Structure 1
Amino acid sequence: MANPPPFSRYEFMIAWRYLRARRAEGGVSVMTWISLVGIALGVMALIATLAVRAGFRTEFVDTILGANAHTTVYMPPQQITNDLTDEVYTVSGTIPDYAAAVQRIEAIPGVTRADPVVKGQVMATANDGANVAEVVGLTLADLEAIPRVADPAAGAGDIAAFDRGIAIGSGMARELGISVGDRVQLISPRGAQTALGTTPRIASYEVVYIFTAGRYDIDRTRIYMPLPEAQSYFDREGAVDEIQVFAARPEAVDALTPALTQALPGSIAWTWRDASGSFLSALDIEDDVMFVILSVLVLIASMNITSGLIMLVKNKGRDIGILRTMGLTEGAVLRVFFLCGAFTGILGTLAGLVLGVLLALNIDGIMAGINWFTGGGAWDPAVRGIYRLPAELRGWDIGRAVGLSLALSFIVTIFPARRAARMNPVEALRYE
């Protein structure tokens, strides 16, 4: 008579019966439940952490691409001598014939648009408050093309009135205590050159629009000004400081650098990856470290399966001897106890999968509750840069978390299962 195939129905039946320990074998049942709960919590933590890390990265990159250029093209700094004082100082390079440069850049395949921009640092004051601000001068059409800034749901005021005023971030408006219709005084340290040195330039502007870009540093420091007014204020008549380039594929923007520098000879291209590459690399390293740490927690929980199986093998010594004398092979006994551990690992993994997905889907509500309990200190946008803790469930992250848990659960069952398979039936029944 041919031997039954591996993992036959009777092997599953015996394994399931052994897991349902009687009261006298309560220790085995307790260890099984401890293993199951530990694996479930480990998988839940792993899935939720990976989802939060993925969501944080996606939100961070989205705020970068939604409120900043994908690539900036600018000229290198220049040295200028003051004819009155013979003082030599360095100034940022400018692009005088920027209209023609914009046309050449927009003709490059893969470029969606190019915006001429004037930039400068100022001190913004209002209502006895002051804040350092970055002024970006651009046209109304270019401002309306910035998705994170021209969002009517998050903004206040009339963006169409941009030509007669300025647009500021919601964080700056809150700190200065101003709203739409109020005036802000801008003070630039680089003003007119005189025999006595440089005099500051001071001007007052009406706030016509308040935006929320979703990045704490942008909302707190950025001011948008009409391009002609910015050229006059920063003494850039007929020129701009840089050209901001937007690509159809931001993730492949590095491939456009050679064509951009050829379109504007002598220029330098600075991509969004160059600006935020170190932070994104740190996120990648942190993701790997968190995965390793949480994997160790899953491994520790899986080790409880080994303890439970060793106790089960010891309690079932007589049964093993009887099964062996009835004709069960070593392989069949090994598979029976392997299935005992595998059942625990599979059930714990499935429970952890469900809990992890539920935790990731409700992370906003959970963080809101924690923020309320801690008085708003659980998530500080000044440190994290974004206002909320997002979560993004990705199939790859769920797959590797589940695969890791199952693999560890299966591996740790091999040693006690082999011990049960190699048990001598004569020795097992000698004292029975």
Structure 2
Amino acid sequence: MAVQPKPFSAFETMIAWRYLRAKRAEGGVSVMTWISLIGITLAVFALIATLAVRAGFRAEFVDTILGSNAHVTVYNAGTVDQQTGRIDRQITDYEAMAERLRAVEGVTRAAPLIKNQVLATVGDRNAGVEVRGITLEDLKGLPRIADPGTAQGDIEDFALDSTEDGVFPIAIGSGVASTLGIGVGDKIRVINPTGNRTALGTSPRVNAYDVVYVFSAGRYDIDRVRVYLPFAEAQSFFNSEGKADEIEVMVEDPERVDEMSLDLLNAAGENTQIWTWRDSSSGFLRALEVEDNVMFIILSILVLIAAMNITSGLIMLVKNKGRDIGILRTMGLTEGSVLRVFFMCGAFIGIIGTVMGTVLGCLFALYIDQIFGILDSFSDQPIWTPDTRGIYFLPAKLEFWDVMSAVGLSLFLSFVVTIFPARRAARMNPVEALRYE
């Protein structure tokens, strides 16, 4: 009794590999093999590169939010002024409220803040800016703002009651500095349209400040509008002595901020509201999530189309190797062995293409800055413009599960589309295959 060979034995692998390397003159389809291989490689490369850019963009976007803004902002719900009918939302007991918020487990910082929008001017240049009044210690608690690697000047100078010429210091974003054409050591005028209150009404208040610090938060929309004043000076400038507009809270784990909302509300007291970083960016984060899912589906279809080339190549291979199949079957090769031979032909293409695509995709993610630098050298304008895309560069972040999902999808599709032509070869009648030979 003949001994049946084990599945995927050495001779089956040898036959499959020989068929893949066969030239057209020998009845092979080497051209189709190369087309299938290149298609799988490019599809996997595109999928991994897209997933890496998506992960990097979200990580950079979230990091700029968490590094330059409050994780949670606490507001006063407001009380109605009986005389004017206006709603007053300023916080009078801000020190006590900040202390209660600091006592909540997981809170790392609670800082009273003054916030208003004014006009900044230098010579004939003007810019609308958002002034935030904050203490030095609280300003240093914002990683993206206090980063010495991207900033100009000394942040410690922000603590001065006044500079050498008796003028209060100010910290401005790099976008504001670029718009106004100034830097550290220059003066800037800030105009509050409703600053001075007199018997005849209100008149603009104009103060000059010395620029002691220029920061770059990594987000164009932040750097081009935000400036910081010392907390006490901001209170005076906006007629808010003894008051704060809001309390900004930083927590240890921003991803769990929703779980802390109730504790923060209870600590803040009655008639308060909170606004988390997820609330402020929820629309953009949802758009990113939808885009991620759509892009993954589209690129999965691209991988499927590339994998279908394997099917067409194997069908041609089965047709050209009909005589060989008939001879092997008459020599005792089973249907299972024939199926496995042609299955391995397609699987080899899928595995090699997947490996090559994975390597290219990972290299693209690792050297994306250098690649874009080369592409920019061939263009008059940079490919990535921060004023339209928010952040200053296109980031890429390799995530293990993103790479594994791309690899798994490619291998799965490559194996599945190989089954049909492999079964067709296995079911070929050896008599019919050799009839005209």
Which interval holds the TM-score relative to the shorter structure? over 0.9
Aligned residue among 161, 171, 179 for 2:175: 171
Match of 1:249 in 2: 253
Secondary structure of residue in 2 paired with 1:191: strand
Aligned residue among 333, 355, 358 for 2:360: 355
Structure 1: which amino acid aligns with 2:351? Answer: I
Deviation, structure 1 residue 185: 1.1
Structure 2: which amino acid aligns with 1:145? Answer: G
Match of 2:229 in 1: 225
**CA deviation string 1:140-169 (max 9, x = no partner):** 111122111111221111211113311000
Deviation, structure 1 residue 7: 1.2
**CA deviation string 1:11-57 (max 9, x = no partner):** 11111111121341476110000000110011111111111111111
Q: Name structure 2 gaps, 5 residues minimum.
A: 163-168
Deviation, structure 1 residue 300: 1.0
Structure 1: which amino acid aligns with 2:13? Answer: F
Alpha-carbon distance in 1 for matches of 2:217, 2:21 = 57
Alpha-carbon distance in 2 for matches of 1:79, 1:184 = 36
Q: Which is further off, 35-44 or 7-16? A: 7-16
Q: Is the 8 A contact 2:20 2:28 kept in 1?
A: no
Q: Is the 8 A contact 1:63 1:213 kept in 2?
A: yes
Alpha-carbon distance in 2 for matches of 1:408, 1:143 = 52
TM-score between the two structures when normalised by the length of structure 1: 0.96
Match of 1:60 in 2: 61
Deviation, structure 1 residue 122: 0.5
Deviation, structure 1 residue 197: 4.7
Aligned residue among 306, 311, 319 for 2:316: 311
Match of 1:130 in 2: 126
Deviation, structure 1 residue 196: 5.4
**CA deviation string 1:104-134 (max 9, x = no partner):** 1111111111011110011111121111111
Secondary structure of residue in 2 paired with 1:319: helix
Does 2:275 align with 1:274? Answer: no
Alpha-carbon distance in 1 for matches of 2:285, 2:265 = 25
Alpha-carbon distance in 2 for matches of 1:290, 1:25 = 42
Alpha-carbon distance in 2 for matches of 1:119, 1:68 = 13
Match of 1:298 in 2: 303
Alpha-carbon distance in 2 for matches of 1:296, 1:197 = 67
**CA deviation string 1:178-200 (max 9, x = no partner):** 11121111112333455655422
Does 2:109 align with 1:108? Answer: no
Deviation, structure 1 residue 405: 0.6
**CA deviation string 1:226-259 (max 9, x = no partner):** 0000011111111101111010111101112111
**CA deviation string 1:278-304 (max 9, x = no partner):** 111111111111111111111111111
Residues 252-263 of structure 1 mapped to structure 2, 5 A cutoff: 252-263=256-267
Q: Is the 8 A contact 1:349 1:402 kept in 2?
A: yes
Aligned residue among 69, 73, 93 for 1:97: 93
Deviation, structure 1 residue 387: 0.5
Q: Name structure 1 gaps, 5 residues minimum.
A: none
Q: Is the 8 A contact 2:78 2:271 kept in 1?
A: no
Alpha-carbon distance in 2 for matches of 1:27, 1:298 = 24
Structure 2: which amino acid aligns with 1:424? Answer: N
Alpha-carbon distance in 2 for matches of 1:23, 1:377 = 46
Alpha-carbon distance in 1 for matches of 2:427, 2:27 = 25
**CA deviation string 1:40-97 (max 9, x = no partner):** 0111111111111111111111111111111000112444366xxxx54445x01111
Does 2:421 align with 1:416? Answer: yes
Match of 1:141 in 2: 137
Does 2:431 align with 1:426? Answer: yes
Match of 1:152 in 2: 148
Q: 1:81 to 1:367 in 2, by over 3 A?
A: farther
Alpha-carbon distance in 1 for matches of 2:110, 2:27 = 72
Q: Is the 8 A contact 2:192 2:206 kept in 1?
A: yes
TM-score between the two structures when normalised by the length of structure 2: 0.94
Q: Is the 8 A contact 1:333 1:421 kept in 2?
A: yes
Q: Is the 8 A contact 2:193 2:203 kept in 1?
A: yes
Alpha-carbon distance in 1 for matches of 2:267, 2:130 = 27
Aligned residue among 359, 365, 384 for 1:379: 384
Q: Is the 8 A contact 2:144 2:217 kept in 1?
A: yes
Q: Is the 8 A contact 1:25 1:315 kept in 2?
A: no
Alpha-carbon distance in 1 for matches of 2:233, 2:259 = 34
Alpha-carbon distance in 2 for matches of 1:350, 1:291 = 19
RMSD of the TM alignment (CA)?
A: 1.5
Does 2:184 align with 1:188? Answer: no
Q: Which is further off, 185-194 or 157-166? A: 185-194
Q: Is the 8 A contact 2:318 2:421 kept in 1?
A: yes
Alpha-carbon distance in 2 for matches of 1:295, 1:260 = 43
Structure 2: which amino acid aligns with 1:72? Answer: T
Does 2:394 align with 1:389? Answer: yes
Alpha-carbon distance in 1 for matches of 2:399, 2:337 = 39
Aligned residue among 213, 217, 224 for 1:213: 217
Secondary structure of residue in 2 paired with 1:189: strand
Secondary structure of residue in 2 paired with 1:3: coil
Does 2:412 align with 1:407? Answer: yes
Alpha-carbon distance in 1 for matches of 2:337, 2:311 = 19
Structure 2: which amino acid aligns with 1:73? Answer: V
Match of 2:50 in 1: 49
Structure 2: which amino acid aligns with 1:114? Answer: A
Deviation, structure 1 residue 369: 2.1
Alpha-carbon distance in 2 for matches of 1:66, 1:89 = 34
Alpha-carbon distance in 2 for matches of 1:218, 1:35 = 47
Deviation, structure 1 residue 368: 1.7
Alpha-carbon distance in 1 for matches of 2:26, 2:114 = 78
Alpha-carbon distance in 2 for matches of 1:26, 1:377 = 50
Does 2:344 align with 1:339? Answer: yes
Q: Which is further off, 364-373 or 282-291? A: 364-373
Structure 2: which amino acid aligns with 1:144? Answer: K
Identity %: 63
Secondary structure of residue in 2 paired with 1:293: helix
Alpha-carbon distance in 2 for matches of 1:426, 1:385 = 69
Q: 1:27 to 1:81 in 2, by over 3 A?
A: farther
